[in-house]
């Protein structure tokens, strides 16, 4: 099996040089590492709560999918990590609007803490 490393400047690099890649393409799938709401240029966390953070996470995810030759239309599975499950409805509204009419399988879990104090993180698997 061959693996292709995906790197793009249009999404944040791995957090503080951690040993992972933005994504890996293998066997016709792209596996995207969890994305938080960091802006690609300055690596600052987006302010304004769950709405703006969800938008930025999806921007980052979409940029990586495009760099891998994929798109939201090819998503097969996402996992959403929320610091507060009370943010589910707000996140879900934005997610539904951005992901489209044929959403992937999805899990959503509440976690105690996320990197950089983020409110949301999303990881994904898509076809290429």
The answer on pLDDT for 33 being more than 80 is yes
The reported pLDDT for the residue numbered 15 is 77
Instruction: Tell me the pLDDT tens digit for each residue of 41-72.
Output: 888 999 999 999 999 999 999 999 999 999 99
Helix (H, G, I), strand (E, B) or coil at 85: helix
Fold classification of 4-127 is 60s Ribosomal Protein L30; Chain: A; (3.30.1330)
CA 116 vs. chain centroid, Å, equals: 15
Q: How many whole angstroms separate alpha carbon 119 and alpha carbon 28?
A: 31
Domain ranges of the chain: 4-127
Asked if residues 4 and 29 have their Cβ atoms less than 8 Å apart, the reply is no
């Amino acid at each position: 099996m061959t693996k292709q490393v995906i790197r793009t400047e249009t999404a944040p690099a791995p957090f503080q040089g951690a040993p992972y890649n933005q994504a890996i393409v293998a066997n016709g799938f792209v596996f995207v590492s969890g994305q938080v709401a960091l802006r690609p240029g300055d690596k600052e966390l987006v302010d304004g709560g769950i709405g703006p953070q969800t938008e930025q996470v999806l921007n980052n995810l979409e940029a990586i999918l495009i760099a891998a030759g994929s798109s939201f239309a090819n998503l097969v599975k996402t996992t959403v990590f929320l610091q507060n499950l009370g943010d589910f409805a707000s996140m879900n509204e934005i997610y539904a609007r951005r992901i489209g009419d044929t959403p992937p399988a999805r899990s959503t879990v509440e976690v105690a803490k996320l990197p950089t104090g983020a409110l949301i993180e999303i990881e994904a698997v898509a076809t290429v």
